[in-house]
A and B are shown apart, each in its own frame.
Chain A
């Protein structure tokens, strides 16, 4: 069995009276693209900073590529590339200078990839950083990280500030990392991004893991969203097992269906008679909202 690329167990970290991490678990296997989802302030950045050995955890254990990130930070960083979440680059350096500096500090710069990435991200490396727009500064960070030869990439909200075209370039680059067998931890609060890219997803809330697994496993935990215009009497739906939140407006019935109840509900609908039917697949968004949407009515589904 492979050593996990990231193995975090029961991690705790407090800043003063604020508890940022409260028994957090995370496991990422080598070669996986792992999504790391959570609302603002949930502990994503704190986790990544602990994985980089920049913070010392109060409790629990963290291993990165089999090493202790606090003790073996320097040796480990030669095998890791990162895009931090919140950084102001040196305003007087050019983008190219910043990229080269970071690559050399990391120890494994790849000049061929550097040229390729600058071209693909349409970045002008001779501009001073203070003259770049927000999106272009983010591209500098992305090129710097992706142009280093690493086993593990820790990306903290890497697409913030990018336009949709550049987001696509970024996704293509991440897929390329996967083909090369590299491991990626991608923190984000953008569900679509994680859905498109990631093999596994870990959801963090208030410093704790609330859900973790492959996309398929997680989808299983959610429900189909259905809206239908029915010919017959919908009374049978109200008592059908696996149907939730049934409501009707202007003759359109809306409800949710547990993933394992799909088949009987479909039969039931066929019996009632359907004029119009929209059957949406379970989305990560539903799962997300179920965990975070304290104020939403679906909160009855607390796990």
Chain B
């Protein structure tokens, strides 16, 4: 009986105040649309940044005349005794020659023989740890030069400049996206709560009268909260429908043509929809409940 009554009250007030109700719903709708577009964009961007970071690797070049036993020893050392190593791949002289000659056939034709050494390509567990690995394999001497921990190793190299650039660039991208996302969420919460507050403000006299007739706070509050939830749901459903239409109509055909767009992992649409819906309901219910508190103090 009571829930039915509150629901009826909420529907009545929506029917009798169509414009504020529409404004509240529209602000939820717009906010969720922006968030719904922005969240996958952020994910795609950080995904792309991470992919670039994963290309960062460390090369361990071996001396030209190493034996198989020495190669095995270095591999064991890399795999078992060095921290932060994600994976190790052996690149033999022949393999390196094949790859490089493909890239620059004329120069290698001129050379005739294979000048390239055997090497290991190490992928770190986190690109930020690449210097740690390098220091472990080739510690600095007090004089500022590098030695190697195994006589079979000739040199440990990463493309320093490139690595640094990639690392700072991806850091900046990730940070910027995070800040933008945070700002957007704050702005959304403010927008929705302001709209709700405005529509409640126009009805504070109504609340006052209800209190004078002897209505308890919760008796007044529940219809308002329910109204907020209903409007939030409506806005959420509309936003999700629009997002789905947008995805099917624009993003999916594009993704088929350009690998770029589909490449990074993004949240699936149902999960995104669920999250947005939840946010809409929580924000509008909390918004109306909290905003009402001020007017209840009669």
A and B interact physically? no
